Amino acid sequence: MRKTSFLLIITAFCCLSKSTFAQIKTGENLAVTNTESGKVRGYIHNNIFTYKGIPYAEAARFMPPTKPKPWSGVRASLVYGPVAPLLDPTTNVQDEGEFIFHHDWGFTNEDCMRLNVWTPSIKDGKKRPVMFWIHGGGFTAGSSQELPSYDGENLAKKGDVVVVSINHRLNILGYLDLSAYGEKYKQSANLSILDMKAALEWVKANIENFGGDPNNVMIFGQSGGGAKVNTLMAMPSAKGLFHKVINESGSFRTAMLEKTETQLIASEVLKALDLQPNQVDDIQKIPFEKLSIAGKKALKVVADKMKAEGKPVIGFGLSWGPSRDGEVLPYQLFSNEAFELSKNIPLMVGTTKNEFTPFAGMATFNSTKEQALEIIKKKYPTKTDAYLEAVKKAYPNDTKPSDLLDIDFSFRPGAVIQANQKSALSGGAATYMYLFSWQSPVLDGKFKAVHCMELPFVFNNIARCEEMTGGGKDAYVLADKMSQSWINFAKTGNPNHAGLPKWETYDAKKGTTMFFDNTCEIKYHHDAALLELVK
């Protein structure tokens, strides 16, 4: 046989083999389904139907979202859509931190109201639970594709669920309160939250075409996403659009700005842009970069005024975020009215053991015991012994000196407050509490259970996130347990399964908390003395 003929046969066989065993399927007439606005076409990967960048709403700048304009034909939905413009675009990164997080920054556009769907099937008549993911990044940054852990394929495949993730307006575009300048701007203070509601309305109207159940929707989010979950729980017009909630490391904001402050911020923005009140509509045409600079100036001016008047500056500093506008959000987040509104919705809430402390205390990772004690004495000069005793009681298996220093006290206290209040509602739905304490081995273990570390486990995405998790056997075992709890909670409002010890509901008296670690275990008010000491 001639050499060229032999090579052609081998090439043909290889091509046939690739086609026969292909893991991705695409085509003009493949994975096509309907939405209210028109047909969309996705692709199939590992038997999961995937759709990216579907418009769920549209809006002019500082205007409420409306349904997207219909399109003719079939819209390709194969890649992620635009992300919201950022106040501070990334121009450099910290090498080790970026290694573990492995961001995908995407491309920006103010027309960013897009969602993504992963589903096992679109035509089998099933109504699957919907897991509706809201990304982190505070209220100013982030996107549905930002972290590799956010990919919904493995979760959809494992749980026979539909996973949805969204982009929405952020920062000044989502939260500038122009309500003092005309009726058309009356909802402008909370447009970002209205975007999320619009996405949930899209799910209600369209998700059956993707194999999902519009009457069984769980919203879940982490960090800023968890805070957005809390905000939706306090939003009367969103009631009925979701049926379970999980808040991961998102209870850091327990209160919102009032209209007095948000309207003052808007006034300072106009001043920074040299616009008179009767010129407010000109703000629609201001380039985003200029608008962003004006917003930063305004926030600083108002923050300084609030401090001078003795008013608390919420969270980590005055920043963009939802506010009690009396229109979209009539109640403070942790008010009795807000908790009553979400009384019948099961809640899971938790944090990671270390959150941001590995970044704050990186220089102390290799501290000696003496160095650690010196730091503790400076921070708690009259409570040093009590602090050491409380840490030992809370975390008796810790051995490194740095373990004394990098326990999170920023996120967990708010989670405990939320769990206490939610579980105290008479006749209310169940509350569950967790703490993610698994320690990553990556980079000699210095990042520990850092902020976002639980996400690869929740989404069952260890292989996608080896830089963060190390990709070892223990990580896969824990991911199987955690993702199953999230799936079960989405299905029934109860996270229990055979792979975990019995997970009792939370109440303030017992403080039942599931520790997710190489050995998962239940503890009761393990750190009550420690939280009392540091508050």
Catalytic site residues? Answer: 223, 355, 451
Amino acid type, 27: G
Biggest CA–CA distance in the chain, Å, is: 92
Q: If you write DSSP's letter for every residue of 88-103 in order, what string do you get?
A: S------HHHHHHH--
Amino acid identity at 206: N
Which class for 295: exposed (0-12), middle (13-18), buried (19 or more C-beta within 10 A)? buried
Q: Parallel, antiparallel, or unpaired for β 38-41 and 431-436?
A: unpaired
> Residue 64: which of 215, 201, 227 has the closest Cα?
201
Separation of alpha carbons 439 and 518, rounded Å: 9
Q: Is the dihedral of CA 255, 516, 525, 376 positive or negative?
A: negative
DSSP track, 65-90: -BPPPP-SSEEE--S---BPPPSS--
Give Cβ neighbours of residue 173 (< 8 Å, ≥ 6 apart).
61, 62, 84, 85, 110, 191, 192, 288
CB 417 within 8 A of CB 424: no
Query: Measured between alpha carbons, how far is 221 from 458 in angstroms, rounded to an integer?
Result: 11
Using DSSP's 3-state secondary structure scheme, residue 510 falls into coil
Enumerate residues 6+ apart whose C-beta is below 8 A from 399: none
Beta-strand ranges (E) seen in 92-222 are 114-119, 128-134, 162-166, 212-222
Give, in order, the Cα–Cα distances in Å from 206 to each of 38, 124, 196: 11, 16, 15
In angstroms, how far is the first alpha carbon of the chain from the final one?
A: 83
Nearest to 295 by CA among 315, 323, 266: 266
β 74-76/38-41 pair status: parallel
Length of the chain (residues): 535
